Amino acid sequence: MSKDKKELFREVEARLYSYKDLDIKIKNKELQIEKKKNDYRGCGSISYDERTGVTYNISRSVEKEVVKREKDIAKLAKEKIDLEIEKQSIENALTALNSDENTLFEYFYNSRNKNTMTYIAIKMHRDRSYCYTIRQNLVYKVMGMLYPDYEELPLLNEKTTL
């Protein structure tokens, strides 16, 4: 992979932070699809423009509208599937976490509040530096699951286990 470890670490953290909003985004895509399915203009007014010559290009506004609507629905459906796959990928990666990592994930990444590491350390009855170590292990574990082809990850080796 062309990404360095720090950049990949930030990318995985961004994906973990966005996890809590994935259900909302998926529901919005479903609503957009329903709106597109029920939204059509139909026949519009006929315009009489000046014609300069004979043309064999027959354009039908209703046909164009139906084709455009189907393309839009297909695009929205693909975006919805991509969001669902992202959610399932993260959920699958989260199954590898131990109880401390899982608790930290809930407080740090999956919370609607912006919790500080000090607050999380107090809640978990741990030292703040230990919580940073848990965070690093959590991100590396998830990174290893989301990017299995990346060779430079310390996934589940002796150095990263607590």
pLDDT at 41: 59
Q: Could you tell me where the DSSP H helices lie in 5-60?
A: 5-18, 22-38
Q: Which parts of the chain register pLDDT below 70?
A: 1-2, 40-59, 151-162
pLDDT at 63: 79
pLDDT at 79: 96
- Give me the residue spans of the domains in the chain: 18-43+60-95, 97-162
Distance between CA atoms of 63 and 58, rounded to whole angstroms?
Answer: 11
pLDDT at 57: 53
pLDDT in tens, 64-78: 888 888 999 999 999
pLDDT in tens, 48-63: 556 566 555 556 777 7
CA dihedral of 98, 104, 107, 111, whole degrees rounded to 10: -70
> In a 10 Å sphere around its CB, with 0-12 CB exposed, 13-18 middle and 19+ buried, how is residue 95 labelled?
exposed
pLDDT at 162: 45
